Structure 1
Amino acid sequence: MPVTSFFLTILAVIFAAAVTVWAMTVWGFLTVLPMLMAAVLIARWALGRVPYDDSHP
């Protein structure tokens, strides 16, 4: 993995954590929690493995 991609990944994680903390202070824990859960489920679905399909010619 190139250094730039690694650095951008670290920055994205830090930024996401900062936005999460900010949202919890502004809107409260019970409002942000469902949004976090939805984001995690969407990310899990998007990053999941796709089974290989060789039925098409």
Structure 2
Amino acid sequence: MAHAVFRFYEELNDFLPPDRRKVAFDYPLDRRAAIKDVIERSRQRGDRAPGASPASGGG
């Protein structure tokens, strides 16, 4: 299976679980997935962008 290494900087860390902030991490890839989908799946379920309301879709 393919994989990618991600590391996010600055405000983008706000969207990640604490153990993935400011560090590089491996993530397995489904070759058919869009990068947007991979990034969204790397977040913990239920996380929302800071200040986002449930009605706005969470970011």
Give the structure with the larger strand fraction.
Answer: 2
| TM norm structure 2 | 0.26
Give the structure with the larger helix fraction.
Answer: 1
| TM norm structure 1 | 0.27
Using CA pairs under 8 Å that are at least 6 residues apart, name the structure with larger relative contact order, 1 or 2: 2
Which structure has the bigger radius of gyration? Answer: 1
